[in-house]
Structure 1
Amino acid sequence: MSNQEFNIIDFGAQADTTQLQTATIQACIEACREAGGGQITIPAGRFLIGSLRLYSDMTLYLQEGAQLIGSTNYLDYEDFQVPTTITYANDDYYQNKWHLPPYCFYGLITAFQAENISIIGELGAIIDGCDTYDANGEEQFRGPMGIVMSQVKHLQLIGYTMQNSANWAHCLDGCEHVLIERVTVQAGHDGFNLHHSQAIKVQNCHLETGDDCFAGYDIQHLQVTNCQLNTACNVFRVGGHQLVVDNCQIKGPGRYPHLSQDTYDTHALFKYYSIDADQMTPVEQDITFQDCLIDNIGKLIVYDFGNRDFMQTNRPLDQINFKRTTINHLTQPSTVNGQCLTVSFEKTLIDFNSKQAFLTFKTPITLKLNEVTFKRPTTIMLAEGQQLTFDFQINLIVTK
C-alpha cells in the first residue's frame, strides 16, 4: 500500500454545508486509487454524502471531529451494481416477505471484491445514516446500509461511531480476515451482519442497536471479545462454525427502539440463523458464550429447526455452550426443537425469573450441566415429558 495521503479538502470538499460532497470526496478516492492506494483523510467538520466507493489498498481516515453525514434522500445512493454473496436477496419468497428492492445492498461507504481496506476514526469521528427513509426499500421504509463490504479480504474497522443507520450499520458479506476494534454503533438497525464471512475478530466495541447486534449465517471463526452489547431485538442471530463470545457484558432492555415495532425489550440472547436460500459450508454449527455477564433479557435461546419464518431451514445447530457465565433476570422460557443437539452449561449461574420451564426440549438432545448454580427453583423439560427440577448446584449429563 502507498504511503501517500489525500485530503478531501484538496479536491474541493466543503465542510458544514448542505450541499452534497459525494463527487469531490469520490474524486479524492479515485486519485488515491490511481496512485496505487494510500490514505484518504477526512478532516474535522460535517460532510454530507451519498454513496462512496473504496478500492484495494486504501485507508479512509476520519480525524478527530470528522463527520460523514448521510443524505436523507435515498436517490443519492447507489449499489454500484456489484453482485452480493447474500443470494436470498434474489429469492422470490424473501423478496416478497421483506419487500426487498433490487438495490438492497446500497450504503454510505462501500467496497467490493477488494483487499487491504481500513476505515479508521479518531475520537469523535462519526458516520451518521440519518435514518434515511425509502418507501421502496426493505419493509417499505428502510434506506441505505451504513458500510457495505462485499468479498473484501484483510479489512479493518477501527475507532469510529456509526449512528442512525437506515438499515444494517455494517454489511460484511463474503469477507475474510476482519478486525473490528473500538467501534460504537448507536440506534438504527443491525450492528454487524457477517454472512459468509470468516476469520473475524471483534473487540472492545460498544453496540446499542435497534435490531440485532450481530446477525448472519455461514460465519466461520468469529471471536467477539470485551464488548458491551445492548439491543431492542436479538443479541446474536447467527449461525456458523466456531463462533465464540468471550468476556462480554450483555444487558437489556434496548436503549434505542426497534424501529418497525417501537419496542425496547431484548428478545433473546441467541437466535439461530440458517436460511434455505443460500449455500452453507458443510461444517459443524456451534456457538460458545464464555466469561460473559448476561442481564435482563427475554429468552436465552430461540431454536426451532425447520421453521422457515425463523430462517432455520438449512443446516441444523450442533451445539451451544455456556462457560463461566452469569445469566441474571432471564424472563421468558425457551423452547428448543432440533435433534442431535448438545446444550452445555459449565460453571454457570442462572437466575430464571418465571414459573414456567426454563428450557423445554421438543426433540432428543444431550444436556450437560457441570457446576451450574440456580438462584431459584428451576425446571427443565426434556423430550417425552421428563421433568428435571433444580434448586441447587448441579452436575448432570442427560442424553435422550
Structure 2
Amino acid sequence: MIKLLTLSLALMASLSLSAKDYVITRHGVKADSTLLNTCAIQKVIDKAHAKGGGTIVVPKGVFLTGALFFKPGTRLKLLEGAVIKGSDTIADYPLMASRMEGKNLDYFAALINATHVNGFSITGPGTIDGNGYKFWDQFWARREEGRRQGRTVTNLEVYRPRLIFIWGCDSVTLRDVKLRNAGFWTTHLYQCNDVLIEGCDIRSPFKPVKAPSTDGIDLDVCKRVTIRNCYISVNDDGVCIKGGKGPLAHTLPENGIVEDVLIENCTFGQSHGTLTLGSECIHARNITLRNCVMQNTCPVLRLKMRPDTHQTFENITIENITGNSGPLIEMRPWKQFFDLEGTTDQPKATVRNIVMSNIHVTATYFGEMAGNAHDTVSDIVFRNITVHSPGQGMKCLYPDAVTLENVTENGEALKLVP
C-alpha cells in the first residue's frame, strides 16, 4: 500500500497535478481523434465548476471536440503532446450572443470559450488546433461564387468558428500553448483587463490553402495587456486592436477604448500586418511594440482609416525593431464594408503622438501616410532608423506633422514625397 501511494504521488508530481486537477481521460473522455468528445469534456468542466473550480488537464493524445465552455473557477492545461482538435462541422458550435467585427450580435461559439471567468488561464505546452481547412475551402468557394455574381462576400457569410473567445474576464493568462489553424480569428479577447499572453506559438497557413481572417490576437475593448515572447504568423493581422465600428460606434456602451498594451520580445512571421489598428477600432491609446524581430513582408504598423467611423489613435510607440519587414508604417483609407448606416454623419479621425525609433530593417519600402479628407494627424516622430529597400522616400500627405531625426533609407536621408 505504501509503495502504491508513493508511486501515485510520484505520478501526480510528474504531471504537476493537484487535487483540483481533472485529467479528462480519468473522467470518461476517450483519446480517440475520430470520436467527438464535446459532451464528455464539457461534463468534466461542469463537474470541476460544481466542486468549486479546478484545472481541466488534457494529457498526451488528440481529442476531437466542438465548442467548450469554461465556467468560473475553471482553467485549461494541455500537457506535452496534448491536442484539442476542433470539429470541422459548424453545427458543433452553437449560435449564441457574441461579438464579431466590432458589433454585438449572435454568432457561432468558438472552440474554447470563457465568459466572466476571472483568473481564466490556458497553459501548455500542448496544442489547440482549429482544424480549419474545411471552413477555409468553403470561404474561398463562396468568395469565388460572389465574384462571378458581381457582389462582395463578407467575412460573416461563411460560418466559421474562432479558436478562442474570452469575454468579460479579468486576470487572464495564455502561456506556452500552441494555437493552430483557426477557422476564423485565432484569439479574441473582448472586455478583458489585465491580460498576459506569454510564450505562445500562433500560426495559420498561407499555403496550400490560405487561412482567411485568422488574426493572431484580437484585443477588443481591453485594458492592460502584455504580449511577450510569442511567435505569430497568420493569414491576417498579427496583433489587431479593435473596439467597434460604424458612425455611432463611439456612442454605444458595448464599444470602447483599447489601452495600455505592451508587445515585447516577439518574433513575427508573415501576416497582413504586425500591429494593426482601425478595421474595427474607435480609440486606441498607449500601445507599445518593442524589442521585436520581423520575418515578413507586411507593415510593422498598419493604420486603417475608416471613413464611416470616428477614430482616435494616440500614444503609439514602436522601438527596437530588427529583421526583414514590409513598410514601417502603412496608413491608408480603409473602405471595406463601408456603411454610414443611414446617418448623415461625417466621421473623422485623430492620429497623434506616434514615435517609431531604433529600427533597423530590410523593408519592401519605407512607408506611406494617407487618410481621409477630415482626418487630423500630428506629432509623428521617426528617430534613429536605417532602412534598406528597393524604393526611395516615404509617401506622406502630412509632412508638417512628421519629424525625422537620423533617419536614412539606403544610406541617404529619408525624403517625404507627396
TM-score, normalised via structure 1 length: 0.79
Aligned: 1:111 with 2:127: no
Question: Secondary structure at 1:84's aligned position in 2?
Answer: strand
Aligned to 2:405: 370
Report the equivalent of 1:159.
Answer: 176
CA contact (8 A) 1:214 1:236 kept: yes
- Displacement of 1:59 after TM fit? 1.9
Preserved CA contact (<8 Å) 2:386 2:411: no
Cα distance in 2 for partners of 1:374, 1:59 equals 49
Structural mapping, 1:50-65, within 5 Å: 50-65=66-81
Structure 2 matches for 1:266-305, cutoff 5 A? 266=298, 268-273=299-304, 285-297=314-326, 299-304=327-332
223 and 3 in structure 1: CA distance in 2 versus 1, 3 angstrom threshold: farther
Does the 8 A contact of 2:97 with 2:104 survive in 1? Answer: no
CA distance in 2, matches of 1:176, 1:275: 26
Q: Quote the sequence identity (%).
A: 22
Count of aligned positions = 348
Using a 3 Å threshold, how does the CA distance of structure 1 residues 273 and 29 change in structure 2: closer, same or farther?
A: farther
1:330, distance to aligned residue in structure 2 (A): 3.0
Partner residue of 2:341?
Answer: none
* Aligned residues of 2:366 and 2:409 also touching (Cα < 8 A): no
Q: Does 1:228 align with 2:267?
A: yes
Q: Determine the structure 2 residue equivalent to 1:340.
A: 377
User: Counterpart in 1 of 2:354?
Assistant: 320
Q: Deviation per CA, 1:128-183, whole angstroms, max 9, x where unpaired?
A: 11114166983544621000001111100011111111111101111110000110
Kindly indicate whether the alpha-carbon contact (under 8 Å) linking 2:292 and 2:321 is maintained by their aligned counterparts in 1: yes
Deviations 1:284-320 (A, max 9, x none): 62311111114142x3322246x44398956422132
2:155 equivalent to 1:138: yes
In structure 2, C-alpha distance between the alignment counterparts of 1:279 and 1:220, rounded to whole Å: 17
Equivalence for 1:78: 94
Distance in 2 (CA, whole Å) between partners of 1:177 and 1:52 is 23
Q: 1:367 and 1:352 mapped to 2: Cα distance?
A: 20
Shift, 1:16, TM fit: 2.4
Query: Which residue in 2 is equivalent to 1:126?
Result: 127
For residues 276 and 381 of structure 1, the distance between their equivalents in structure 2, rounded to whole angstroms, comes to 24
The CA distance in 2 between the partners of 1:313 and 1:326, in whole Å, is: 36
SS in 1 for 2:26: helix
1:200 aligns with 2:229: no
Cα 1:325–1:381 change in 2 (3 A) is closer
CA distance in 2, matches of 1:365, 1:36: 60
2:261 is paired with a residue whose SS is strand
* Partner AA of 2:370 in structure 1: V
Matches of 1:208 and 1:15, distance apart in 2: 29
Deviation at 1:198, TM superposition (A): 1.0
- The residue aligned with 1:94 is none
Q: Secondary structure at the match of 2:41?
A: helix
Letter in 2 for 1:359: M
CA distance in 2 between partners of 1:146 and 1:193 (Å): 12
Q: Which has the higher helix share?
A: 2
SS in 1 for 2:382: strand
Structure 2 unaligned blocks of 5 or more: 1-17, 143-153, 205-210, 243-256, 279-283, 339-345
Conserved 8 A contact 1:227-1:247: yes
Q: Does residue 365 of structure 2 align to residue 331 of structure 1? A: yes
Superposed displacement of residue 279, structure 1: 8.6
Please list the CA deviations of residues 357-397 of structure 1 after superposition, one character each: whole Å capped at 9, or x if unmatched.
x3222246422222333333465336xx6xxxxxxxxxxxx
Native 8 Å contact 1:301 1:336 kept in 2: no
Answer yes or no: is the 8 Å Cα contact 1:212–1:231 preserved in 2.
no
Kept in 2: contact 1:86–1:173 (CA 8 A): no
- The 1:273/1:42 distance shift into structure 2, 3 A limit, reads same
Given the superposition, is the C-alpha separation of residues 351 and 89 from structure 1 closer, same or farther in structure 2, using an over 3 Å criterion? farther
Q: Is the CA contact (8 Å cut-off) linking 1:128 and 1:162 kept in structure 2?
A: yes
Q: Is the 8 A contact 1:64 1:121 kept in 2?
A: yes
Query: 1:309: which partner in 2?
Result: 336
Counterpart of 1:245 in structure 2 is 289
Partners of 1:71 and 1:199 lie apart in 2 by 33
The normalised TM-score by structure 2 is 0.76
Contact (CA 8 Å) 1:339, 1:364: kept in 2 or not?
Answer: no
Q: CA offset at residue 250 of structure 1?
A: 1.2
147-156 or 361-370, which deviates more: 361-370
Judged with a 3 Å threshold, the aligned counterparts in structure 2 of structure 1 residues 347 and 379 are, in CA distance, closer, same or farther, namely closer
Greater shift in the superposed pair: 331-340 or 320-329: 331-340
Q: C-alpha distance in 2, partners of 1:58/1:273?
A: 37
Distance 1:3 1:179, change over 3 A: farther
Q: Is the 8 A contact 1:205 1:227 kept in 2?
A: yes
Tell me the distance in 2 between the aligned counterparts of 1:175 and 1:290: 26
The alignment partner of 1:340 has SS state of: strand
How large is the Cα RMSD of the aligned pairs? 2.8
- Choose the corresponding residue for 1:40, options 33, 56, 65: 56
The structure-2 alpha-carbon separation of the partners of 1:371 and 1:302, relative to structure 1 and needing over 3 Å to count, comes to closer
